Amino acid sequence: VDDYVEADQVKYVFAVDRAKAALAGIPSEEIVNTLRMALEGTKVGLVHIPQEKSPVHIVLRLPLAERTGLEHIGEIGLRTNTGGIVQLSELLTIEQTVQDKAIYHKNQKPVVYVIADVGGPGAEQAESPVYGVLGVGKKLEDYRPLEGYKIEQYYASQPWLEDKIAMKWDGEWQITYETFRDMGMAFAVAMLLIYLLIVGQFQSFLTPVIIMAPIPLTLIGILPGHWLTGSYFTATSMIGFIALAGIIVRNSILLVDFIQLQERAGVGLFDAVIKAGAIRTRPIVLTAAALMVGAFVIILDPIFQGLAVSLLFGVGASTLLTLIVIPVLYFHMSGRQRTPLEPSAEPVSGDGETARPAREPIGTVTA
């Protein structure tokens, strides 16, 4: 842990005694230039070295050992107008003060920055600063300054008043907060677009609700998956959760679309739901298995481990639950709120082929 609070630093102020300088006939500018040359150095020329492409500056100044203290600076001699030598210490007055400290501001408010890294047992696995922030925050709740008030902690906004000490968590925490906030907004927009697309496809406001119902079920696999693998829920984990929404919706569409095809063929609602679960299980499981194999490859990656865990455990749990939840929800909600679909002119058989109606006899032939 470190902070930006600066310790007191000694500062020496050199002032030219103009009266003594005038008596010696030495201009104040010459005294200042001599002092600057001794401490900072002055470029007096160039030297050309055969091994160098560019000329090297010649800098004239005191050796390091002699310019680190004041005892040698006062021994520098200056020539007077009469040809004598006077020491620099006789022409200067030295005042010892304290160096001005830097004042940091953020959003026009004075602040003191405190920086830290996650340490202690298990620090090498702390991929997110959230856990460190929460741990320190609990200890700050019990701390009281000399005035006796409680230090308020701000996680998303900046303190408004300046009459009391307050803590604003910033840095990686602010980045994490903004990342999850933006991805949450993107997830909400994605859900709205998915809903509108399904409404346009099925011409119903209830069917998209049934199809999108398994999306929260991915958390049943994602959260225990992070706990089992010892991984933290990071931004990549959130990306995996958003990606799973589209995959689970696809599986739900396969089931609901098949059920409606069976209803148009004249199959009862109960039998259509049973057939959908039996026939569509294989493509849904194969799709989930292919995704799980692809996610398993990157599960050991330190950056994309959260993404892999979300995809691997989320798709496994949600696929199994989708095969149960979607048929049950569709059966109960469709059976209660609407009548079964009427058979179409060209009904569709269970194997997906168009069933042609049998021709009626034209007449009777007798022997």
Q: Is residue 344 part of a domain?
A: no
Give the end of a domain, one of 72, 98, 124.
98
Q: Is residue 349 part of a domain?
A: no
Residue 259's Cβ-count burial label (10 Å; 0-12, 13-18, 19+) is: buried
The CATH number of the domain holding residue 195 is: 1.20.1640.10
For 103-151, strand residue ranges (E) read: 104-106, 109-111, 114-115
Regarding whether 324 and 307 lie in a shared domain, the answer is yes
Going by their DSSP bridges, the two strands 152-154 and 166-168 should be labelled as parallel
pLDDT tens profile 254-269:
888 888 888 888 888 8
Give the count of beta carbons closer than 10 Å to the beta carbon of residue 139.
Answer: 8
pTM (whole model) above 0.75: no
Regarding whether 89 and 124 lie in a shared domain, the answer is no
Choose the weakest-confidence range: 25-34, 196-205, 341-350. Answer: 341-350
Number of structural domains, the chain?
A: 3
Q: Is residue 357 part of a domain?
A: no
Give the count of beta carbons closer than 10 Å to the beta carbon of residue 199.
Answer: 15
Regarding whether 166 and 53 lie in a shared domain, the answer is no
Of residues 156 and 236, the one with the higher pLDDT is 236
Regarding whether 77 and 29 lie in a shared domain, the answer is yes
| pLDDT for the residue 335 | 65
pLDDT tens profile 175-220:
778 888 888 898 899 889 989 998 988 888 888 888 888 888 888 8
- Full residue range of the structural domain in which residue 301 is found: 189-337
pLDDT, mean over the chain: 80
Regarding whether 299 and 270 lie in a shared domain, the answer is yes
DSSP codes, 23-56: HHT--HHHHHHHHHHHHT-EEEEEE--TT-SS-E
Regarding whether 331 and 270 lie in a shared domain, the answer is yes
Q: Is residue 363 part of a domain?
A: no
Q: Is residue 73 part of a domain?
A: yes
Binned at pLDDT 50, 70 and 90, residue 10 comes out as confident
| pLDDT for the residue 324 | 87
∠ CA 26-27-28, rounded to 5°: 115
Regarding whether 115 and 35 lie in a shared domain, the answer is no
Distance between CA atoms of 216 and 212, rounded to whole angstroms? 9
Question: Which among 183, 218, 187 has a CA at the least distance from the CA of 291?
Answer: 218
Question: Which among 256, 238, 264 has a CA at the least distance from the CA of 128?
Answer: 238
Q: Is residue 360 part of a domain?
A: no
203 Rama sector, left if φ>0, alpha if ψ -120 to 50, beta otherwise = left
Q: Is residue 67 part of a domain?
A: yes
Regarding whether 201 and 312 lie in a shared domain, the answer is yes
Regarding whether 255 and 152 lie in a shared domain, the answer is no
Residue 364 has pLDDT above 80, yes or no: no
| pLDDT for the residue 192 | 92
- Structure token digits, residue 185: 């907004």
pLDDT tens profile 151-171:
888 877 777 777 788 888 887
